[in-house]
Amino acid sequence: MPKIDISTAPRGSGTRYPAPFDAPCKARAWSKLGDAAGLTQFGVNLVRLAPFVWSSQRHWHSHEDEFIYVLTGELVLVTDEGEQIMGPGDCAGFKAGDRNGHCFQNRSSEDATLLVVGSRHGEDHGEYPDIDLVFLRDRYQGTGGYRHKDVKPY
């Protein structure tokens, strides 16, 4: 039957960011809802952020549109324009190639959950405006990775 059994969907957690940038994201966890249904054109992850956990470092994507919808809890969306509080039913979208980085930070004492949708594009790469970090293309082939902004390896 086509309803997705979230309890058995593939899961992920943590981060491969080099230290010390991994610290706020180590406890992030997600269920891969799109993968559970065999979807390949975009990913849909149900992300759970415990108190003081971030969705990511602030970043932007060169080739992938991204959309998030907050289901529960309270998050702070950080972009070039500043900070916005996001609660259940709030949403935001980030167009491919827009160099205005974004991340969601749980600064509350309760868990927050959000749906994150992102297209999948083999050439996608991007940058973290606040820190000395970029991510290279071909991460879906396992050959991307995190580098200094001068592209030297960590």
Residue 20: is the preceding peptide bond cis (ω within 30°)? yes
- Indicate whether 6 belongs to the interface with its own copies (CB under 8 A): yes
> Using alpha carbons only, what angle is made at residue 74 by residues 27 and 37, rounded to the nearest 5 degrees?
60
Single out the segment in contact with its own copies by CB under 8 A; choices: 10-18, 21-29, 63-71, 146-154. Answer: 63-71
The residue among 29 and 92 lying less far from its own copies, judged by its C-beta, is 92
Pairing of strands 112-119, 42-49: antiparallel
Q: List the interface residues with its own copies, window 83-142 (CB under 8 A).
A: 84, 86, 89-96, 100, 102, 115, 117, 119, 121
Q: Quick one: which of 25, 28, 30, 44 contacts its own copies (CB under 8 A)?
A: 44
The residue among 63 and 139 lying less far from its own copies, judged by its C-beta, is 63
The strand order across the sheet containing 133-135 reads: 60-61, 126-128, 133-135, 146-147
Q: Quick one: which of 36, 76, 134, 136 contacts its own copies (CB under 8 A)?
A: 36
Q: 3-state DSSP call for residue 8?
A: helix
